[in-house]
Amino acid sequence: MTKPIMVGNVNWRDTLMVLDGAYSDNTLRGYRADMDAFEKWGASTGVAVLPATPEAVAAFVTDQARMCSSATIKRRLAAIRKIHALLHLENPLTDEAVVIALRRIRRSKRERPRQALGLTKDIRDRLIAACTETLPGLRDRAMITLVYDTLCRRSELVGLKAEDLLRTPDGAAQILVRRSKNDPYGAGRLAYVSNRTLKQVDQWLAAAKIEVGPIVRAIGTDGKVRRDALHPYSVTRILKQVATSAGLPPKTVANLSGHSMRVGAAQDMIAAGLGLLPIMQAGGWRTTNVVARYVENANLSALMRGFRTDT
């Protein structure tokens, strides 16, 4: 373990406490992990990292390019910038040496953004069919169909609460997504819940005896439903377990993530002919960039069927 780097009498890790409540836990964990990587690199090379010179950061960027993606390097630079700002140190990232190093890496790597495998409705239905009638099976079925309808991220999914289900006269519902990645101040958004999904959710809530609080919860080894929400990381684990039970190919299972249902639902909406604006509203996107990228992995035959003129 490297010796903590001090600036005056301050450890850079302690400065992050100032950000508690202003940034998400995931963001703070990312800052710590990325600054840790910079600190360890400095210890291994004998280069000072606080304050860091532009030349040191440029060398770090070049070294990281051997094993990290451009996105990871960009994220680590954001952590370096934030720590320097909190310690009232000059930002080394504005120097042309860093700009050139980062540009060189981007041009040499030429990476396409990675995207989770889309869990479209066909795969969704296979997963639902594989869920048992046990308590965990009822939860998993409700979770899978609920996250597909709402296009929630896994952190948003585990934040959904039973009391936020707003039932409509047609047998469907809306649910309040209280906070999301691009909604740090908690304005919230309303997401659609279909009649089919509402029935699955109600079946789970009744079996688990949940009236208020988190909908998606952990189940202990004693078979009892916990009061707290399921951990976001557990969503991916459960998804892969159900996919394996459903007989999906190992490669498909490996490529599934907690983001897959959000991607797949957007792809299905695109293939059904919906425009970008309603899809953005359904998933809480603020820009078209990400949604437009999903078109690339959607079913192109379905997308183009209405425009083909071949006989």
CA 291 to chain centroid, in Å, comes to 14
Residues 186 and 45 in one domain: no
Residues 161 and 140 in one domain: yes
Residue 130: predicted pLDDT: 96
Phi and psi torsions of 201, nearest 5°: -65, -45
Q: Domain end: 88, 109, 130, which one?
A: 109
More confident residue, 201 or 276: 201
Per-residue pLDDT reduced to its tens digit, 75-116: 999 999 999 999 999 999 999 999 999 888 877 765 555 566
**Secondary structure of residue 159 in the 3-state scheme:** coil
CA distance 224 to 202: 18
Residue 62: predicted pLDDT: 93
Residue 77: predicted pLDDT: 95
Q: Domain end: 109, 139, 157, which one?
A: 109
Query: Percent of the chain having pLDDT more than 70?
Result: 86
CA distance 137 to 143: 10
Residues 144 and 232 in one domain: yes
Instruction: Please answer whether residues 77 and 61 qualify as being in contact, where contact means their C-beta atoms are separated by less than 8 angstroms.
Output: yes
Domain that residue 172 falls in:
121-305
Residues 104 and 129 in one domain: no
Phi and psi torsions of 227, nearest 5°: -80, -30
Residues 128 and 170 in one domain: yes
Residue 311: predicted pLDDT: 38
Report the CATH number at residue 268. Answer: 1.10.443.10
Among 31-35, 99-103, 268-272, name the one with the lowest average pLDDT.
Answer: 268-272
Per-residue pLDDT reduced to its tens digit, 125-157: 999 999 999 999 999 999 999 999 999 988 899
23 pLDDT band, cuts 50/70/90, is confident
Whether the pLDDT of residue 16 is over 60: the answer is: yes
CA distance 111 to 126: 33
Whether the pLDDT of residue 237 is over 90: the answer is: yes
In DSSP terms, 180 is beta-bridged to: 183
Residue 97 lies in a domain: yes
In the chain, what's the furthest Cα-to-Cα distance?
77
Q: Domain end: 76, 109, 142, which one?
A: 109
- What is the domain count for the chain? 2
- Average pLDDT rounded to a whole number, residues 40-48: 93
Q: Work out the mean pLDDT of the chain and round it to a whole number.
A: 85
